[in-house]
């Protein structure tokens, strides 16, 4: 498909310097017309910065973009759009309270004498949506669409502006398996129509299924561009990304299990439709697998008291505990690392110190609730050192840390408590390969010390690589259980698939 001439989109020696950080160091590579080009790298490798230069959100310090041979430095996102560039971010830039059609044509609504021509608007939008194989009512409010369809709306929006260069930033991170299939079909269509597509992802499997070429960044520098993925293996890309071999990502070793740490019987509540009963032993890692929306997070939130359970009981180390709020759960030794770090984990505008001590500080106060600053600083230092958190200081605002480091601070917050049951909800989502393996190691270490670990992940290999035993949830119910030996990927996945749509 590629031609001998210059690629359609070329990054030419792009550098970007922020105060104190060299985010990009002379990145150069090309994306051919009619190809899907993967962009990979650990968090902090410079992928987002590169996308920002492409979208016009930020300007490179030096270097420029070539589109169809013409040099550009986009001063704004509208300049990039005018040149036919669209970047589709993880967090979609849509207005939930407006209709689908309005969102697609936002900024250039069809009008007649200053009045929006609604009939034409809806007609045009319907045509765009049909082109993407979507049967969505254009007059429907965006907020009523599931996330997968919203992404289609974003793509339609890009297409109406005549985008010839489309960049996707981890588009599948919150999609279901079926939505992913649909998205891939659309991306393949776009490729056939001659778009140059840049596809940022952490998921190796997607690269090999979807992409034609792949570029790897590391520490802001261009490592390598593979013009074809025919002859290379995932190991090669991982090596490019981390600069070393990762032979066994998980490093699982069997452990001895102690007596039961957590005994759950008949727990039900919002999102968990039929009562769930299970146990976890001390030193055991229990994996909880299921598709998005199967009720995994909801089950953890019931256990943590974040949503009230309607029935059921919980025992921790053989002592019945009443969990009606997160505070109750924490006191009983059950802690929970949330799936959505940004929304439910960190307090972004407070320091690492503050975020680390948010919970455990209550145990170290003097009369009248006066906090013990010496203890807090010492504890935060201990935790961040033990977890190898990379931060310039404890007083750094946590929002300036990378995702992996934020996750470690949250872990530090919980490890400051007397934890008996550690619940982790998608602990490695959006985290780079290096930090991932550190978190895996930590989980094994904590389990070896006798902690019971309950881990939820959408990444099947991850669940199978970590867990001693796997529970599967399906449509709000605990559907199946596998020992590590029995947990073949196909069997676990089959148990997770919805029954009524499994044929589809």
Partner 1 sequence: MTASSVPASSPKFGGAAALLDRAGMLLILALLVVVCSFTVPNFASPNNAESVLLQVSTVGIVATTMLFCLASGNFDLSVGTLIPAGGVLCALVLKDTGNLVLAIGAALGFGALVGLINGVVVAKCKINPLITTLSTMMMVKGVAFVFADGKSIGIANDAILNLANAAFPIFHNARGGVLFQITAPVWICFALFFLFGFLLNRTIFGRNTLAIGGNEEAARLAGIPVDRVKITIFVLQGAIAALAGVLLASRMGIGDPKTAQGIELSIISACVLGGVSLTGGVGRMSYVIAGVFIMGIVENAMNLLSIDSFYQYIVRGAILLSAVLFDRFRTRR
Q: Which chain residues interact with partner 1 by CB under 8 A? A: 20, 242, 304, 306, 325-327, 329-331, 336, 338, 343-350, 354, 358-359, 361-362, 365, 368-371, 373, 377, 381, 384-385, 388-396, 413, 434-435, 438
Nearer to partner 1, 43 or 103 (CB): 43
Give residue for tokens 């032993």: 281
Burial 246-260 (b: 16+ CB within 10 A, else e): beeebebeebebeeb
Strands (E), 317-376: 319-321, 334-337
Nearer to partner 1, 16 or 164 (CB): 16
Q: What is the C-alpha to C-alpha distance for residues 182 and 15, in angstroms, rounded to an integer?
A: 35
Nearer to partner 1, 26 or 326 (CB): 326
Question: If DSSP codes are grouped into helix, strand and coil, which group holds residue 18?
Answer: strand
Output the smallest distance, CB 344 to partner 1, in A: 5
Read off the tokens for 348: 């972004």
Output the smallest distance, CB 85 to partner 1, in A: 25
Nearer to partner 1, 57 or 232 (CB): 57
Q: What is the C-alpha to C-alpha distance for residues 321 and 331, in angstroms, rounded to an integer?
A: 10
Exposed, middle or buried by CB within 10 Å (0-12, 13-18, 19+), for 230? exposed
Output the smallest distance, CB 359 to partner 1, in A: 5
Read off the tokens for 146: 């599931």
Output the smallest distance, CB 55 to partner 1, in A: 19
Nearer to partner 1, 201 or 351 (CB): 351
Read off the tokens for 345: 């984990």
Q: Which helix (H) or strand (E) holds 62?
A: strand 62-67
Output the smallest distance, CB 97 to partner 1, in A: 17
Gap between the terminal Cα atoms of the chain: 33
Output the smallest distance, CB 503 to partner 1, in A: 38
Output the smallest distance, CB 270 to partner 1, in A: 16
Q: Which helix (H) or strand (E) holds 448?
A: helix 433-448
Read off the tokens for 30: 């090309």
Exposed, middle or buried by CB within 10 Å (0-12, 13-18, 19+), for 3? exposed
Nearer to partner 1, 1 or 327 (CB): 327
Output the smallest distance, CB 316 to partner 1, in A: 15
Nearer to partner 1, 319 or 327 (CB): 327
Output the smallest distance, CB 368 to partner 1, in A: 7
Q: What is the C-alpha to C-alpha distance for residues 58 and 15, in angstroms, rounded to an integer?
A: 12
Asked if 430 and 44 count as a contact pair (C-beta separation under 8 A), the reply is no
| Cβ neighbours for 149, distance < 8 A, ≥ 6 positions apart | 134, 136
Nearer to partner 1, 77 or 372 (CB): 372
- The 477-483 sheet, strands edge to edge: 334-337, 421-425, 452-456, 285-289, 469-474, 477-483
Output the smallest distance, CB 459 to partner 1, in A: 20
Nearer to partner 1, 5 or 374 (CB): 374
Nearer to partner 1, 311 or 373 (CB): 373
- Alpha helix ranges (H) inside 204-339: 204-210, 234-242, 296-304, 326-331
Nearer to partner 1, 143 or 371 (CB): 371
Output the smallest distance, CB 280 to partner 1, in A: 20
Question: If DSSP codes are grouped into helix, strand and coil, which group holds residue 482?
Answer: strand
What are the beta bridge partners of residue 337? Answer: 424
Q: What is the C-alpha to C-alpha distance for residues 365 and 357, in angstroms, rounded to an integer?
A: 12
Q: What is the C-alpha to C-alpha distance for residues 248 and 368, in angstroms, rounded to an integer?
A: 51
């Amino acid at each position: 498909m590629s031609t001998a001439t210059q690629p359609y989109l070329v990054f030419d020696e792009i550098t970007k310097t922020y105060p104190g950080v060299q985010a990009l160091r002379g990145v150069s590579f090309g994306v051919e017309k009619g190809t899907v080009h993967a962009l990979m790298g650990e968090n902090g490798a410079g992928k987002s910065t590169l996308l920002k230069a492409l979208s016009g959100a930020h300007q490179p310090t030096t270097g420029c973009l070539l589109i169809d041979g013409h040099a550009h430095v986009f001063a704004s996102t509208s300049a990039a759009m005018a040149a036919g560039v669209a970047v589709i971010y993880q967090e979609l830039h849509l207005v939930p309270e407006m209709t689908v059609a309005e969102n697609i044509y936002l900024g250039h609504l069809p009008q007649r004498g200053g009045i929006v021509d609604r009939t034409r608007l809806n007609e045009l939008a319907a045509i765009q949506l049909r082109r993407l194989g979507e049967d969505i009512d254009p007059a429907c409010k965006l907020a009523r669409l599931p996330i997968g369809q919203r992404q289609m709306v974003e793509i339609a929006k890009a297409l109406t502006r005549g985008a010839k260069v489309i960049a996707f930033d981890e588009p599948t991170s919150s999609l279901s398996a079926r939505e992913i299939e649909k998205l891939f079909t659309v991306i393949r269509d776009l490729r056939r129509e001659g778009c140059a597509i840049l596809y940022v992802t952490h998921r190796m499997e997607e690269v090999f299924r979807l992409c034609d070429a792949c570029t790897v960044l590391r520490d802001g520098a261009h490592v390598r561009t593979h013009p074809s993925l025919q002859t290379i293996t995932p190991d090669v890309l991982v090596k490019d990304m981390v600069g070393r071999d990762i032979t066994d990502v998980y490093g699982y070793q069997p452990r001895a299990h102690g007596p039961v740490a957590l005994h759950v019987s008949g727990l039900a509540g919002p999102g968990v439709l039929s009562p769930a009963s299970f146990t976890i032993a001390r030193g055991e890692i229990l994996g909880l697998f299921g598709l998005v929306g199967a009720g995994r997070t909801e089950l953890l939130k019931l256990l943590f008291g974040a949503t009230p359970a309607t029935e059921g009981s919980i025992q921790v180390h053989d002592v019945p505990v009443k969990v009606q709020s997160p505070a109750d759960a924490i006191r009983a030794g059950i802690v929970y690392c949330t799936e959505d770090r940004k929304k439910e984990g960190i307090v972004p505008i407070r320091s690492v110190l503050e975020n680390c001590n948010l919970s455990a500080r209550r145990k170290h106060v003097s009369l009248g609730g006066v906090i013990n600053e010496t203890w807090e600083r010492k504890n935060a230092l201990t935790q961040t050192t033990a977890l190898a958190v990379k931060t310039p200081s404890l007083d750094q605002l946590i929002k300036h840390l990378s995702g992996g480091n934020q996750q470690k601070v949250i872990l530090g917050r919980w490890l400051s408590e007397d934890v008996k049951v550690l619940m982790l909800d998608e602990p490695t989502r959006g985290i780079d390969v290096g930090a991932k393996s550190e978190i895996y190691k930590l989980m094994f270490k904590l389990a070896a010390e006798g902690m019971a670990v309950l881990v939820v992940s959408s990444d099947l290999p991850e669940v199978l690589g970590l867990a001693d035993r796997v529970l599967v949830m399906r449509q709000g119910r605990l559907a199946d259980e596998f020992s590590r030996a029995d947990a073949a990927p196909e069997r676990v996945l089959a148990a997770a698939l919805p029954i009524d749509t499994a044929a589809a």
